[in-house]
């Protein structure tokens, strides 16, 4: 074996590229670690440059970064809503809740406010919002159809279009031949549509565009459209409140992040080990690496784990609650 190594070294002296190749192989594990540390440092630096990146934002300030979707939400949605739900009086002294790494002290109180489920005056989960025409109060605005030059202009998001909501509204307000006529008239009123025909049996519209192109637009769920009442919204909100309260009573650990991501785990050993890592004097990079190895956090983006590491603060209540649970077991 020694003889082969000597031959390889002698060969390497004569040919520089062999030396370089051997050096790269030997150094590759170290280089990979250094690259990983560099990525973590860059992520931390970017987070620190942001304005309060880990703070929950008032819903009024949220920007969806999609102009059409944002305009649609602000102008034409009733956030769930203008309904009033009595504040729940129940206070919960179970579970461990962290918001972007910050431990929230018990007791926990869940209630509804302006479209959000709140926990101890903090925005927890944004509830679904509903188009105002689904409440039966109004129909889709006409201006979006007047100004549209193509079906692309009627796209609100990946799963929603203006023309679908218009046809759904017609479906709820007309029947039989009158419904078919209204749908055809609607499509033929669009400046880029030459003609249209509605197949009620297939719930699809066949349109011919002014450029000669033909399209088939499907509406598979129209027969099930019933509209959403204010009473339904109240029941929906109360159900979400009750579900959250039941979850908290399980005495699990919940990690919430400001983009809506949430994680949970039920093993007390995990939360205790997580606390030990977060309280340690190790660097943020080391803490992140340890949490990954322990598999306390699943394979989510580093920026979320970093917010957990960066924002963690010691809490006497957390220490006492964990110690009490460990002693009880």
- The answer, yes or no, to whether residue 186 has pLDDT greater than 50, is yes
- Report, as an integer, the average pLDDT of 304-308: 79
| Residue 37 within a domain | yes
Q: What are 165-173's contacts with CB under 8 Å, separation 24+?
A: 165/131, 165/133, 165/140, 166/139, 166/140, 167/205, 167/219, 167/222, 168/219, 168/222, 168/225, 169/133, 169/139, 169/140, 171/222, 171/223, 171/225, 172/136, 172/225, 172/226, 172/227, 173/139
- Domain end residue (candidates: 49, 65, 85): 49
Q: Which range, of 48-57, 77-86, 143-152, 167-176, averages the lowest pLDDT?
A: 48-57
| Residue 291 within a domain | yes
| Residue 68 within a domain | no
Beta bridge partners of 126: 116
- Domain end residue (candidates: 34, 49, 64): 49
What is the rounded CA–CA span in Å between residue 254 and residue 272? 13
Q: Are residues 107 and 145 in the same domain?
A: no
What is the rounded CA–CA span in Å between residue 309 and residue 290? 11
Q: Are residues 179 and 317 in the same domain?
A: no
| Residue 239 within a domain | no
Q: Are residues 252 and 321 in the same domain?
A: yes
Percent of residues, the chain, with pLDDT higher than 70: 61
Q: Are residues 322 and 254 in the same domain?
A: yes
Q: Are residues 177 and 217 in the same domain?
A: yes
Q: Are residues 118 and 258 in the same domain?
A: yes
Residue span of the structural domain in which 108 resides: 73-126+247-328
* Alpha carbon separation from 287 to 183, 292, 302, 306 (Å, rounded): 59, 9, 12, 9
| Residue 305 within a domain | yes
Q: Are residues 120 and 174 in the same domain?
A: no
| Residue 230 within a domain | no
| Residue 235 within a domain | no
What is the rounded CA–CA span in Å between residue 78 and residue 237? 14
Domain count, the chain: 3
Q: Is 52 left (phi over 0), alpha (psi -120 to 50) or beta?
A: left
Mean of the per-residue pLDDT values of the chain: 72
- Report, as an integer, the average pLDDT of 141-168: 78
Percent of residues, the chain, with pLDDT higher than 90: 10
What is the rounded CA–CA span in Å between residue 199 and residue 202? 6
- The answer, yes or no, to whether residue 77 has pLDDT greater than 60, is no
Beta bridge partners of 196: 207
The predicted structure's pLDDT at residue 86: 74
| Residue 229 within a domain | no
The predicted structure's pLDDT at residue 93: 92
Beta bridge partners of 110: 119
Q: Are residues 115 and 259 in the same domain?
A: yes
Q: Are residues 142 and 219 in the same domain?
A: yes
């Amino acid at each position: 074996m020694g003889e082969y190594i000597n031959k390889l070294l002698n060969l390497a002296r004569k040919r520089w590229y062999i030396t370089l190749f051997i050096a790269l192989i030997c150094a590759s594990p170290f280089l990979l670690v250094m690259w990983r540390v560099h990525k973590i440092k860059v992520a931390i630096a970017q987070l620190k440059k942001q304005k309060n990146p880990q703070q929950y934002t008032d819903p009024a300030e949220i920007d969806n970064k999609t102009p059409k979707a944002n305009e649609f939400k602000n102008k034409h949605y009733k956030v769930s809503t203008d309904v009033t739900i009595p504040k729940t009086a129940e206070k919960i002294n179970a579970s461990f809740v962290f918001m972007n790494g910050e431990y929230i002290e018990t007791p926990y109180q869940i209630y509804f406010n302006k479209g959000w489920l709140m926990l101890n005056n903090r925005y927890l989960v944004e509830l679904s919002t509903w188009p105002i025409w689904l409440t039966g109060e109004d129909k889709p605005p006409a201006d979006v159809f007047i100004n549209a030059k193509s079906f692309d202009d009627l796209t609100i998001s990946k799963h929603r279009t203006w023309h679908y909501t218009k046809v759904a509204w017609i479906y709820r307000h007309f029947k039989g031949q009158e419904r078919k006529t209204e749908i055809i008239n609607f499509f033929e009123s669009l400046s880029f549509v030459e003609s249209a025909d509605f197949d009620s049996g297939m719930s699809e519209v066949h349109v011919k565009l002014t450029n000669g192109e033909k399209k088939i637009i499907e509406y598979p769920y129209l027969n099930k459209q019933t509209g959403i009442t204010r009473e339904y919204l109240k029941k929906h909100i109360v159900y979400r409140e009750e579900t959250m309260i039941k979850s908290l009573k399980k005495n699990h650990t919940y990690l919430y992040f400001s983009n809506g991501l949430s994680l949970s785990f039920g093993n007390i050993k995990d939360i205790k080990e997580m606390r030990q890592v977060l309280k340690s004097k190790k660097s943020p990079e080391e803490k992140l690496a340890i949490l990954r190895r322990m598999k306390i956090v699943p394979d989510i983006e580093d920026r979320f784990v970093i917010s957990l590491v960066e924002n963690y603060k010691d809490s006497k209540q957390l220490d006492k609650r964990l110690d009490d649970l460990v002693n009880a077991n």
